[in-house]
Structure 1
Amino acid sequence: MDEIVNKVANSKLEVFDLEDYFPKAPIVELDISQWLLEGFILKEKDFRETLKNYEWQQFSGQNVALFCVTDAILPAWTYSLVATYLAPFANAIVQGDKKAMLLSLYQKELSKIDFQFYADKPVILKGCSNKPVPNEVYVLAIQELQKVGRSVMFGEACSAVPLYKKGK
């Protein structure tokens, strides 16, 4: 009887799992419309006073996505001013939603990786995730992996979709 050989386990495939770089600190959204008159009008003096008296410590160690749920027309400095109050406490701050924060955090993490580890190797960009990794992050990752890998596939070793092969 022939021995069953796990070709995947014995292959030189390297798995690049974006979930490994998922932020550990919580991501919270902060709606600034709560500090606008009727949710729409920014009265600078009142806005500044509200910010000055707000409990910013609650955002310690968190990633904060600033947004305005209403269609208020705000001066360009609005989000920057809020960020000055958050900066001493928050890990990271972006203007946008949770997805914008995830993209920003992933961009920072991917920029720190030495992709030379994957040089001339077949790579699988792991596609199944238990965490909400945005599709845009896969686009960022393939651009880096394509520069160095011999080939890049998407998915799992048992059912990978070829994305790139050097020389083709």
Structure 2
Amino acid sequence: MRARDWAAYHATIVFIGCSVDAIVPSWVYMQLASRLSGVAKGVYFMDKIDVLRPWLDAILLSDVEPYRDKKVTVRAHPDISAAVFTAVTNRLMPVVHTLLYGEAGLPKVIYKRK
């Protein structure tokens, strides 16, 4: 950890966690927090679902009426969690006529109202 350029985190909010299924001792997170103390604006530990919570809440509270009876394409993006795509699907299905996933040129039909 000593070789890390901690100044890169100056005045930022840092969220730490583990994105893979691994056993990480608690002291590792304490060590990271101590290195970032006085450098970062804030240091917080978050599980993967904690990171997604604002996205999921925003989806649940979003106004979907503008999409009523429309054809909607949800753009593919490898960095977005399947949990977000699932929430979008659940939110849009009751109102849209057609729900597609992928790129605009060749989307995959997910749902089509009969």
**1:108: Cα distance to partner?**
2.0
**Letter of the aligned partner of 1:58 in structure 2?**
A
Determine whether 1:109 maps to 2:62: no
In structure 2, the residue corresponding to 1:162 is in which secondary structure?
Answer: strand
Q: TM-score, normalised by structure 1?
A: 0.45
Aligned AA (1:160): P
Q: 1:29 is matched with which residue: 5, 10, 16? A: 16
Structure of higher CA gyration radius: 1
Query: Using the alignment, how far apart are the partners of 2:103 and 2:50 within structure 1?
Result: 27
The sequence identity of aligned pairs, in percent, is 16
- The alignment's TM-score, normalised by the length of structure 2, stands at 0.63
Q: Show the counterpart of 1:152.
A: 99
Q: 1:124 to 1:166 in 2, by over 3 A?
A: same
Alpha-carbon contact 1:151-1:165 (below 8 Å) kept: yes
Query: 8 Å contact 1:154–1:163 — kept in the other structure?
Result: yes
> Superposition RMSD on alpha carbons, in Å?
3.1
Alpha-carbon separation, structure 1, partners of 2:63 and 2:91:
10
